[in-house]
Structure 1
Amino acid sequence: MTGWACGIGGCDAVFGDVESLLAHQATEHERHECAVCGTVVPDGFFAIRHVFDEHTRAEFVRAYDADSDDIREREDVKNRIEEEVEVGALRERLDL
């Protein structure tokens, strides 16, 4: 992959590594309120991870008026990022 595109609300930012993308999503975009439980999380990957780790696929479908294509797309994004991210580097960028 030549770059990691943000994709939140028409954002056209592209990054050379996934850690920079996630730091951007966590710091430069508005937070997202989960439509299932009301938890507020950073938008993008973090919101996807929250809904798929904390809720059932059926809850996601109902809360977001989604379908199986939406599930597959978000699961693919989640899996690709989780395969690439270096958690230590991300923590450092977020100063955690």
Structure 2
Amino acid sequence: MTRWACAIGGCDASFEGVEDAVVHQTERHERHECKVCGTVVPDGYFAIRHAFDEHTRAEFVRAYDADSDAVRVREEVKEDVESEVDLESVVERINGAV
């Protein structure tokens, strides 16, 4: 079974389920301020999702001084997470912890 790695700022936490990884990123790491619009979101998956759902790839590249490889890596992470995650479960767990 594939384990899901956090990978935020060198965090080496890994999880059996993607939901556990996304909840960890949301609860255990600092929030991320979007360099395009200033919106503050949880780091990790939710920051990637915000960047690519709310902004163009060109805006991301300019704001983060990123290249096409950085875009591809984040698009792959987003696609991998979304192919497995039960976001309703993640939201319920996060809201239950508040």
Shorter chain as denominator, the TM-score bin is over 0.9
For each residue in 1:45-92, what CA deviation from the matched residue of structure 2 results, as whole angstroms up to 9, or x when unmatched? 100000100001110000000011011000000000011001232123
Q: Structure 1 vs Structure 2: percent identity of aligned residues? A: 67
Question: Paired residues, what number?
Answer: 96
- Is the helix fraction higher in 1 or 2? 2
Output the amino acid matched with 1:86.
D
Which 5+ residue runs of structure 1 have no aligned equivalent? none
CA RMSD of aligned residues (A): 1.1
Match of 1:24 in 2: 24
1:74 corresponds in structure 2 to: 74
Q: Distance in 1 between matches of 2:33 and 2:88?
A: 26
Normalising by structure 1, we get a TM-score of 0.95
Q: TM-score with structure 2 length normalisation?
A: 0.93
Q: Deviations over 1:7-64 (max 9, x none)?
A: 0000000011000000001110000000000000000010000010000111000000
